[in-house]
A and B are shown apart, each in its own frame.
Chain A
Amino acid sequence: MTTGFGAAGMLTPLVIGDVLGALDSVGVPIPQLLQMADNIAFIALAAIGLTIIFGMMGVINLAHGEFIMMGAYITTLSVNVASIPLPVAMLLGALGTAVFGAIVERTIVRRLYGRLLDSMIVTFGLGLILTQGTRIIFGNSLQSIGTPFGNVPGYTYSGYRVLLLFAAIAVLGAVYLVFTRTEFGVQARATIQDPETARAMGVDTDRMYTITFAIGSGLAGLTGALYAPSATIVPGMGQSFLVESFVTVVTGGSSVLLGTALAGGILGTINAIFSNLYGNFIGQIALLITAIIVIRLLPDGLTGLAATIREKIGERQ
């Protein structure tokens, strides 16, 4: 099948193959490196949408996995049914989920700000409805798209999965720019810190909440869209992202870029090492134990640690 990514999509795995060949020649264990890159990408992408909705807005969205599933379904159906090129289908997956997220915020979540338990129950219910609704409408599974690009030349590892690490870095960078370099981003952060004062400064806080929730949802959809070519498309697929995403957000803390990137890097590496040595089950256990230790020692997560270090440096200066 054509990937829809053009010549760049064909050349990139070849370039990666060359880079890996060079690393291999100096003794870097390539299979472990690829596994680590894959794990870091998976954890960062799984968490990024939730970091915005949970980390910034304080809403525990237990339907986060189903938002990822929605992005994957829209992407897969766009390719399989409407023959839309994969990159465009991925964009539709992200946008469709963002629009759905905006509707959910306006109709449901808006009534639940400051009511943590209520929001958990309601979004858990929403997740069940989405899973079962998808099962009723589309059946137990969809025909998968097929992973583009094939293997990295010289290795039995998917070139597309390696590229997801670069996608994760790009997504984190884009989110950072949106929330720190745009007027919307600054107003959104102000709203989340002190909604009453933000309103008194002329910020339409209702609009800010809707857009922020939609961005978080859209990023969840984008994660689903990016994994659609390499995952089994079933209604319960979102569950496989849920544990990693919550563990990453709690470990990373509230900072979208710093927290998610640090937590993604640390947890992804630990998960890769233990999975490689003792299998996936032990890898997951290692992930959870790491999260417990971090939360015990750093209640505000890695973001809190970074803030403390920054303050100490500031005091010295």
Chain B
Amino acid sequence: MSLEIANLNAGYDGTPILRDVAFSVDDGEIVGIVGRNGVGKTTLLKSIMGLLEPETGRIQYNGEELTGRSPDEHAKRSIGYVPQGRDVFPDLTVKENLLVGESVGDGDETRYEQVYDYFPILEERADQDAGTMSGGQQQMLAIARALVGDPELLLVDEPSEGVQPSIVQSITEDLKQINDEFGTTILFVEQNLSVIQGLAERCYAIDHGTIVDEITGDAVSERDQLEEYLVV
């Protein structure tokens, strides 16, 4: 078992957002958390990454308790994070952004070559300030920045947000290929149907801060099944 969440309750300033969330992700899987706006998807990823202290509950990764640990300790345990809205460092160049992502890496230069293979535009724009790039390029940079740290588990928060459809398709394929090539476990949250169906092997549906359904097998490709949790 790679990642195991049990009885997770979390929120902001005493307002509960997540309620008794429980699910698990196995090594090498691609799992999606699907749901509408404001149901707690980002809060869930932030809690897993240690950016939000859970009120109660347990987060275990490879049998080790993560609850209460800081985000940098999570990163040092090979957990990569692609935040919502990319959150690249705007005044740092592309190369410097990657260098920050490499903070937890082993200094292996081939990781840069690998991410440049996936996202050649980043090599072309290595010396450009990240804040001056388009939304899609920033999304690629955010994923690349997480990948240079050589994560075993990659948490991705809404990769389609603010990105044009053709780039979304490309990013979806890239994530799938990264999983195939490196065996990277991917847990992503998303409300874009094409990303979910193009990427997820199975999904958990979240509503009002609670996991309400698990969607597996062929059901992931059934539009109606997913739309039930995505359409207002």
Instruction: Say yes or no: A189-B75 contact (C-beta < 8 A), given A200-B83, A201-B149.
Output: no
The majority secondary structure among interface residues of chain A is helix
Contact with A along B126-157 (1 / 0, CB 8 A): 00000010000000000001100100000000
For the complex, what is the distance from the CA of A203 to the CA of B104, rounded to whole Å? 8
Interface residues on A, range: 10 to 19
With CB as the reference atom, state the residue of chain A lying closest to B131: A193
For the complex, what is the distance from the CA of A196 to the CA of B49, rounded to whole Å? 11
Query: How many B residues have CB within 8 A of the partner chain?
Result: 26
Give the distance to chain B from A217, nearest Cβ to Cβ, in Å. 24
Inter-chain residue pair count (beta carbon < 8 A): 69
Residues on A with beta carbons closer than 8 Å to the beta carbon of B76: 202
Q: Is B101 an interface residue (CB 8 A)?
A: yes
Q: Is B103 an interface residue (CB 8 A)?
A: yes
Q: Is A210 an interface residue (CB 8 A)?
A: no
Contact with B along A173-189 (1 / 0, CB 8 A): 00000000001001101
Residues on A with beta carbons closer than 8 Å to the beta carbon of B75: 199-202
Give the distance to chain A from B103, nearest Cβ to Cβ, in Å. 4
Assess the A205–B72 pair: CB atoms within 8 A.
Answer: yes
For the complex, what is the distance from the CA of A187 to the CA of B92, rounded to whole Å? 10
Q: Is A190 an interface residue (CB 8 A)?
A: yes
For the complex, what is the distance from the CA of A183 to the CA of B51, rounded to whole Å? 23
Assess the B72–A189 pair: CB atoms within 8 A.
Answer: no
Contact with A along B78-89 (1 / 0, CB 8 A): 000101000101
Residues on B with beta carbons closer than 8 Å to the beta carbon of A203: 72, 100, 103
Candidate in A190, A198, A199, A202 with the most chain B CB atoms within 10 angstroms: A202
Assess the B51–A202 pair: CB atoms within 8 A.
Answer: no
With CB as the reference atom, state the residue of chain B lying closest to A195: B71
Assess the B149–A194 pair: CB atoms within 8 A.
Answer: no
Chain B residues at the A interface, C-beta cutoff of 8 Å: 49, 51, 70-72, 74-76, 81, 83, 87, 89-92, 96-97, 99-101, 103-104, 132, 145-146, 149
8 contacts between A and B (CB under 8 A): A186-B96, A189-B96, A193-B89, A193-B92, A197-B89, A199-B75, A200-B75, A203-B100
